[in-house]
A and B are shown apart, each in its own frame.
Chain A
Amino acid sequence: MARMKFICDAERCIECNGCVTACKNEHEVPWGVNRRRLVTVNDGKPGERSISVACMHCSDAPCMAVCPVDCFYKTEEGVVLHDKDLCIGCGYCFYACPFGAPQFPQAGAFGLRGKMDKCTYCSGGPEENGTEEEYRKYGRNRLAEGKLPACAEMCSTKALLAGDAEVITKIYRYRVVTRGKGDEIWGWSMAYGGSGKLADQPGGKA
């Protein structure tokens, strides 16, 4: 059986936020909740990289381990989901998650936390597939329609890959081998002439 995972290729991500927008739109995620977001390192400096982060559907998920009400489960495809009818919004999963995936909508005045919300790999939750109830609680179930998550399918540079871990790893590996490594993949020589090394460009530091 396929094991569904995400890979974000930091060399390709152009920080367009298309994945974030696609996710927000697909599931009508409420204001203040971000199932997916972009993280940029070395912002504005040569060598800047961005990466799209959401729930990584861990093989050994720490959120599942810490949940006091056991509301998490894993599907046949390895997608980590939870039952919102059971969630008490305690926030333990948020502290356990290394990716900051669990999100908590504000459920009222005084910062009261609502039930946890996170990336569902576009596969809904424990409700009948494709029903209004499923959409209201968990968002659209694209997997049941034979589609991949909206964020990956919407990615313009195909930086974000989704699907069976073995297949997307092969795609990524082929890319890495084909494009080479280091400065040459930035295309300095194509853009500005001269060598492909960043250090040789005016003002560039290795």
Chain B
Amino acid sequence: MKRLASATAVLAAALWLGGCTEVAQEPGKSYAGKLDDKAYAGDQFKGDKAKWEQALAARTENQNDYRRAMAEKK
């Protein structure tokens, strides 16, 4: 009886945790249209992904007005 209870608990825990798995980001269906350029492939970044990511990260962080206010105080 004890064994059955513990097995049920383990199964329940596995099912419970299964709900936490993240859905795959890759599209499940095929795409039939034209291929798109990478965002960093244009004239500005010339394929330099790291530079492009850095530019976006700086812009994103700039939305944090608490950080901006603290920087202005100093």
| Known contacts A146-B44, A147-B59, A167-B61; A86/B23 CB under 8 A | no
Does chain B have a CB within 8 A of A136? Answer: no
Interface majority SS (helix, strand, loop, mixed), chain B: loop
Q: Scoring B residues 43 to 63 as 1 if CB is less than 8 Å from chain A, else 0, what string do you get?
A: 111000000110111011101
Contacting pair A174 B38 (CB below 8 A): no
| Known contacts A59-B25, A148-B56, A148-B60; A85/B41 CB under 8 A | no
CA distance A144 to B37 in the complex (A): 9
In this complex, which of B30, B35, B53, B60 has the most chain A Cβ atoms within 10 angstroms of its Cβ? B60
CA distance A144 to B43 in the complex (A): 9
What distance in Å separates the Cβ of A83 from its nearest Cβ neighbour in chain B? 3
CA distance A174 to B38 in the complex (A): 32
Contacting pair B33 A82 (CB below 8 A): yes
B residues near A, CB below 8 A? Answer: 22-23, 25-45, 52-53, 55-57, 59-61, 63-66
A residues near B, CB below 8 A? Answer: 2-3, 59-60, 64-65, 67, 69-78, 81-83, 85-86, 123-130, 141, 143-148, 152-153, 158, 161-164, 167-168, 171, 174-175, 178
